[in-house]
Chains A and B, each alone.
Chain A
Amino acid sequence: MSGQKKEELLKIEDLVVEYDTDEAVVKAVNHVNLQLGKGETLGLVGETGAGKTTIAKAILRILPDPPAKVRGGRIYFDGEDMLKLSEGKMRKIRGNKIAMIFQDPMTALNPIETVGKQIAEAISLHEKLSKAEVEKRAVDMLEMVGIPGERYSEYPHQFSGGMKQRVVIAMALACRPELLLADEPTTALDVTIQAQVLDMMDSLKEKLDTSMILITHDLGIVAGMCDRVAVVYAGEIVEQGTTEEVFDHAGHPYTVGLFNSLPRLNGTEKRLKPIDGLMPDPTNLPEGCKFRERCPFAKDECGKKDPEIKEFRPGHFVKCVRAGGEER
């Protein structure tokens, strides 16, 4: 597959995450496998509640426990299983080697600390620098994301949404992480600002040679930014491959449905075709294929056995009984 050319940075094997509530167990992530090469950008696509954010937080081990529990799997980062690391060692990775950008910039910054101090905090935690050097670096980071350095000692409420997201990005990139987890970094921003922020992220990523997992439900962003894409449905990865492959030869009915529900500029269709139905209740997942009830091609056998992940085309994996049989 295409990732094999590049050195492997992150490998997730068989990850299972559950949320224990009083009434039921929420199966948020079910046996997820993912790889990411150095310098690569992977798009994690799926609808709300599919488990994308849970995967990202599980990598950093910042899931709220209770209720979240990692029930199984391994997460190798630079060859080391992070789920086995001590909390102290994990802290040295967080914010330093792996950083995260959160979905909502309005709430991701501490309202009672200056933005500069919040960036400086990340730097001083991981680098042995004097106070003045830390401050200098924080100012540099602000300027790198296009915010004048004089605004170092301003508070988050003095910034607009797009500016706040820049601050969050500056904070995440402050220690030049090897891996950046971007959780819907532009969902809360309006479209013009979205483009600016994405462009900036892309160029910074190039400049700092950072790998990235970009979580989004916007296929347009995936097309523009990602080398590879993984489609998440009900806590499972149902399709994975290079962006080009997945966009041109979508193999899973869910992925096909996602594309069909997008408007096309040259399209003649008067109505969009949404995917009927809702995602299954994660506390009570159906047997067999989880997409069965919404799938236009569902057969009897789909309800009996959970389909295996098959290599549908070279480097392009699909979790569906239909895949493989037809095209190959």
Chain B
Amino acid sequence: MGKYILKRLLWIIPVVLGVTIMVFTIMYLTPGDPARMILGSNATEEKVEALHEQMGLNGTYLQRLGRYMKQVFVDQDLGSSYYTGVSVKEQIKARLPYTLRIAGISILIAACIGIPLGVLAATHHYTWIDNTAMFASLFCVSMPGFWFALILVSFFALKLGWLPAVGIKSWTGYILPCLAGAIGGAAGLARQTRSGMLEVIRQDYITTARAKGQTERKVIFRHALKNALIPIITVMGGMFGSSLGGTLIIETIFSIPGMGTYLTDAISKRDYPVIQGGVLFISICFCLIMLLVDIVYAFVDPRIRSQYAGSTRKRKAGKGDKKE
């Protein structure tokens, strides 16, 4: 298991290299010239050239790529914004925690609402409870997140005045953004849990557990839910990944200084160092989350655990052969 984790961690290196090259290439190919955007459309050609030189935008594709790769991986410097001149590293350090916190809490809330709701719907299949839960979750899945966020703001912030409408000054500021972020996920998880549970509940081992005289509650939670958890974990991992970039709308509505607003702003201004640095960080976070998901899998499912162990054992044997 430890070997497996190490292997997966090492795999992050090529992924990060690949992502860096890809983002750089996309930026290279995208139309739009940051120098021209800074100087305005009446600037002379010489002035633009001079700024290119200064920004490191001169030279061929390979020269520029090489320069950038050296800067990132050797000097460990992500550069600084063309516009504000602030170091990208510093900005990410300040902004990433907000995004991570909002994404994390949202998913936690989504799981706390969605999974029990899905279990309830599955155990009351075809009854009004199931129908109500599924209607509600269909409604929430189809509902745009920003709309729900606005409703939350107008009700809790403007009408009742309980919570701040924008900004994050204390923990109260997190409540509305996290709720807004959780609602879609909760609905999705409820549907996933329900279908997973319905499948598991029909399995023979559930009947076996009942035939042992186990209580219904334990049959559902100890035997059924644990087995239904695998696809749910996958969905949750994916949700977390996508919400790293996707809290953008929520960050905009609630004026949160997170990664989403930072990146979109940079994209519209062709602020290359910011885009490249931001995407790099998000991809590293994504890799780590997926690794976490795989570790949780192994924790839940012994079949997967033995696969991991098996693959390292096999490699050990292979190595031994070579030495002999």
Contact = CB atoms under 8 A, between A and B. Distances in A.
A112 B226 contact: yes
A111 B205 contact: yes
Contacts of A112: 226-227, 300-303
Interface string A257-269: 0000000000000
Q: Which of B208, B214, B306 has the most CB of A within 10 A?
A: B208
A171 interface: yes
Contact of A110 (B208, B210, B306): B208
A17 interface: no
A166 to B, nearest CB: 14
Interface string A52-65: 00000100101010
Given A110-B223, A111-B205, A155-B303, A62 B211 contact: yes
Interface in B184-213: 202-205, 207-213
Contacts of B214: 91, 95, 121, 125
Contacts of B212: 94-95, 99, 121-122, 125, 171
Interface of A is mostly: mixed
A14 to B, nearest CB: 24
A157 B302 contact: yes
A19 interface: no
Contact of A95 (B203, B213, B226): B213
A152 interface: no
B147 interface: no
Given A155-B302, A155-B306, A157-B306, A109 B213 contact: no
Nearest to A91: B213
Interface residues of B, number: 23
Contacts of A122: 212-213
Given A95-B212, A122-B213, A125-B212, A104 B227 contact: no
A304 interface: no
B171 interface: no
A102 interface: yes
B227 A110 contact: yes
Nearest to B208: A108
B213 A102 contact: no
Interface string A108-119: 111111100000
Interface string B210-233: 111111000000010011000000
Interface in A47-106: 57, 60, 62, 64, 66, 91-96, 99-100, 102-104
Interface string A306-326: 000000000000000000000
B126 interface: yes
A78 B132 CA distance: 44
Contacts of B126: 66
B239 to A, nearest CB: 23
A64 B226 CA distance: 20
Nearest to B303: A157
B213 A125 contact: yes
A126 interface: yes
A2 interface: no
A234 interface: no
Contacts of A92: 213
Nearest to A22: B126
B303 A104 contact: no
Given A155-B303, A157-B303, A108 B213 contact: no
A51 to B, nearest CB: 17
Nearest to B207: A62
A168 interface: yes
Interface string A154-185: 01011000000000100100000000000000
Given A102-B208, A103-B204, A122-B212, 18 more contacts: A92-B213, A95-B214, A96-B213, A99-B212, A102-B204, A104-B204, A107-B205, A108-B204, A108-B208, A110-B208, A111-B303, A112-B302, A112-B303, A113-B223, A121-B209, A121-B212, A122-B213, A171-B208
Interface of B: 125-126, 202-205, 207-215, 223, 226-227, 300-303, 306
Closest 7 CB pairs of A and B: A95-B212, A95-B213, A94-B213, A107-B204, A122-B212, A155-B302, A110-B205
27 contacts: A57-B207, A62-B210, A62-B211, A64-B202, A66-B126, A91-B214, A91-B215, A95-B212, A96-B213, A102-B211, A103-B204, A108-B204, A108-B205, A108-B208, A110-B205, A110-B208, A111-B205, A112-B302, A121-B209, A125-B212, A126-B213, A155-B302, A155-B303, A157-B302, A157-B303, A168-B208, A171-B208
